[in-house]
């Protein structure tokens, strides 16, 4: 790898500093010196038993920080209540925040991070950096422990396919456990389509025709989280894969030098750009937050929004009872698409981690083991209208419309499910650089060709930066 520019080096240092992985002096010149904080000692282990397979110290405090976003934090509090019942002498400290990075930066700097973190949201800490800097605990003991409900079955054997592998970075042990299981795609209202006497478009020509029909009725075709434009990738990435095959996304994940120049990427961006050029995007969308865009959508101002399955819970306060919430895989481009109809992005979400310097890592893993039991899994699904990574947990539940649609979409996709890893391997690149380039294009400030050039340059910069740990599809 060739050396990076001063600018990219500063960016890397800033990324690490924001995560508490380096100390930054209060002066204009940044210095990448490692934090000298060592943190407190870990608590003594408890005695292992059939009821306590991880050897949790029942007297030790447990410190938990949960991202308070679309899923809220009540599900975690409920699991903590189960933990308290099992370990009545343990003090459980619970905090919920939308500002994960801001809240936890000083704690990582001081070497006193929590025992368990739901590392999600706009201020998600960069998982690739955390793994690369040895800041996370190996969760293999949790995965190899007996499951909460069946002592003859390991935790790893109760997870949905691919979930454990998602927490493994480039052959490393599993450092991340994704608790939710999200379906990403194009979300819409069946009632809104019914009013237009329309079905969900199967081809891009159909999509454009429906958007034109809606425009005549004063309804926009699309809106999206303009202030968080990486949301566009929730439908764009599987669209790219459908057009050109899985290898298109693998090349993007691998930071390959021509990944963004692939014809399938070009075709997908040009298709979305056509939405903008023809006035099918809701006016003002580039200035909307994810909540504002979702509210405009549930109010019927736009037909479609790229999003994930958390949207049902997050937007429930503004969703009419007769909305008919649905999710669909991206429309096809044309008859030459490499992957079939129904190709979908579905993967683990809500990444939970146990910091390497946690005082009570066994307690953090035990709480996760509890959450991956059937009772806690059903409780999560019942509360927030989303699946968990526990393979099951819906039996006997009455699922709301959006989640029912998501399950149907998974069934339709079958094996044609994609999971772009740039979202986990290079969080800042995905959210800030890729998202930023897509946002500029959809705002009409740059063309698809210019977006490709800009995003590929960011990709090359990351690929050639030897201070960034790189990951590859095996």
pLDDT, averaged across the chain: 91
Average of per-residue pLDDT across 422-447: 96
Burial of residue 38 (CB within 10 Å: 0-12, 13-18, 19+) is exposed
* H/E element, 417: strand 417-418
For 136-174, the pLDDT digits (tens) are: 999 999 999 999 999 999 999 999 988 999 999 877 799
Burial of residue 147 (CB within 10 Å: 0-12, 13-18, 19+) is buried
Q: Cα 199 vs. chain centroid, distance in angstroms?
A: 29
Give the phi and the psi of residue 46 in degrees, each rounded to 5.
-90, 180
Give the C-alpha separation, 434 to 233, whole Å: 9
Would you state the pLDDT for residue 222?
98
Residues in Cβ contact with 398 at an 8 Å cutoff, skipping those fewer than 6 apart: none
Question: Does 43 score more than 60 pLDDT?
Answer: yes
Q: Residue 474 — pLDDT band, cuts 50, 70, 90?
A: confident
Q: Collapsing DSSP states into helix, strand and coil, what is residue 25?
A: coil
The H-assigned helical ranges of 306-421 are 311-314, 361-371, 374-384, 401-413
How many residues make up the chain in this entry?
A: 474
Would you state the pLDDT for residue 423?
93
Would you state the pLDDT for residue 40?
53
For 173-207, the pLDDT digits (tens) are: 999 999 999 999 999 999 999 999 999 999 999 99
Burial of residue 190 (CB within 10 Å: 0-12, 13-18, 19+) is middle
Rg (C-alpha) for the chain, rounded Å, is 22
Question: Does 319 score more than 70 pLDDT?
Answer: yes
Would you state the pLDDT for residue 32?
27
Q: Which residue has the higher pLDDT, 4 or 433?
A: 433
Give the C-alpha separation, 462 to 466, whole Å: 8
**What stretches of 208-277 adopt beta strand conformation (E)?**
220-222
- Dig out the tokens for 228 from the structure: 């968080």
For 347-365, the pLDDT digits (tens) are: 999 999 999 999 999 999 9
Would you state the pLDDT for residue 164?
93
Question: Does 13 score more than 60 pLDDT?
Answer: no
Average of per-residue pLDDT across 263-280: 98
**What is the helix, strand, coil percentage profile of the chain, to 5?**
45, 15, 40
Would you state the pLDDT for residue 70?
87
CA distances from 474 to 135, 339, 469, 471 (A): 23, 21, 16, 9
Q: Which residue has the higher pLDDT, 132 or 456?
A: 456
Average of per-residue pLDDT across 72-93: 97
Give the C-alpha separation, 226 to 19, whole Å: 25
Average of per-residue pLDDT across 395-416: 94
Nearest to 178 by CA among 308, 303, 78, 63: 308
Would you state the pLDDT for residue 62?
98
Superfamily of domain 183-344+422-453: Periplasmic binding protein-like II (3.40.190.10)
Would you state the pLDDT for residue 457?
98
Would you state the pLDDT for residue 170?
74
């Amino acid at each position: 790898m060739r050396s990076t520019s001063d600018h990219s080096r500063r960016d890397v240092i800033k990324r690490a500093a924001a995560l508490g992985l380096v100390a930054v002096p209060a002066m204009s010149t940044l210095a990448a010196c490692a934090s000298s904080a060592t943190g407190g000692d870990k608590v003594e282990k408890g005695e292992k038993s059939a009821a306590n397979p991880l050897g949790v110290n029942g007297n030790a405090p447990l410190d938990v920080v949960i991202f308070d976003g679309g899923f809220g934090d009540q599900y975690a509090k409920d699991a903590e209540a189960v933990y308290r019942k099992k370990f009545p002498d343990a003090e459980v400290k619970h905090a919920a925040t939308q500002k994960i990075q801001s809240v936890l930066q000083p704690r990582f700097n001081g070497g006193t991070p929590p025992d368990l973190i739901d590392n999600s949201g706009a201020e998600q800490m960069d998982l690739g950096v955390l793994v690369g800097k040895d800041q996370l605990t190996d969760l293999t003991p949790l995965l190899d422990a007996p499951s909460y409900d069946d002592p003859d079955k390991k935790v790893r054997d109760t997870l949905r396919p691919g979930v454990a592998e998602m927490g493994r970075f480039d052959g490393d042990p599993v450092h991340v456990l994704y608790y939710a299981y999200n379906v990403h795609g194009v979300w819409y209202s069946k009632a809104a389509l019914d009013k237009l006497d329309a079905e969900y478009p199967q081809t891009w020509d159909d999509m454009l025709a429906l958007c034109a029909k809606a425009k005549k009725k004063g309804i926009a075709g699309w809106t999206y989280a303009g202030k968080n434009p990486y949301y566009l990738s929730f439908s764009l990435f599987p669209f790219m894969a459908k057009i050109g095959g899985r290898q298109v996304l693998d090349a993007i994940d691998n930071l390959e030098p021509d990944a963004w120049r692939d014809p399938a990427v070009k075709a997908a961006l040009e298709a979305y750009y056509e939405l903008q050029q023809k006035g099918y995007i809701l006016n003002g969308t580039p200035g909307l937050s994810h909540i504002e865009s979702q509210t405009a959508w549930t109010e019927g101002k736009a037909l479609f929004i790229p999003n994930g399955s958390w949207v049902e819970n997050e937007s429930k306060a503004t969703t009419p009872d007769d909305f008919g919430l649905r999710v669909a895989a991206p429309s096809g481009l044309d008859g030459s698409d490499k992957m079939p109809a129904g190709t979908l992005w579905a993967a683990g979400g809500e990444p939970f981690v146990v910091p390497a310097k946690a005082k009570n890592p066994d307690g953090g893993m035990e709480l996760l083991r509890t959450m991956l039991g059937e009772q806690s899994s059903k409780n999560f699904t019942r509360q927030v209208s989303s699946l968990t990574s526990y393979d099951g947990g819906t039996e006997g539940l009455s699922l709301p419309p959006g989640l029912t649609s998501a399950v149907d979409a998974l069934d339709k996709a079958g094996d044609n499910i994609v999971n772009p890893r740039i979202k986990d391997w290079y969080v800042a690149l995905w959210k800030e650089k890729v998202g930023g380039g897509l946002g500029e294009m959809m705002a009409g400030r740059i063309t698809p060709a210019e977006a490709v050039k800009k995003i590929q340059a960011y990709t090359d910069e990351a690929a050639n930066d030897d201070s960034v740990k790189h990951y590859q599809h095996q």
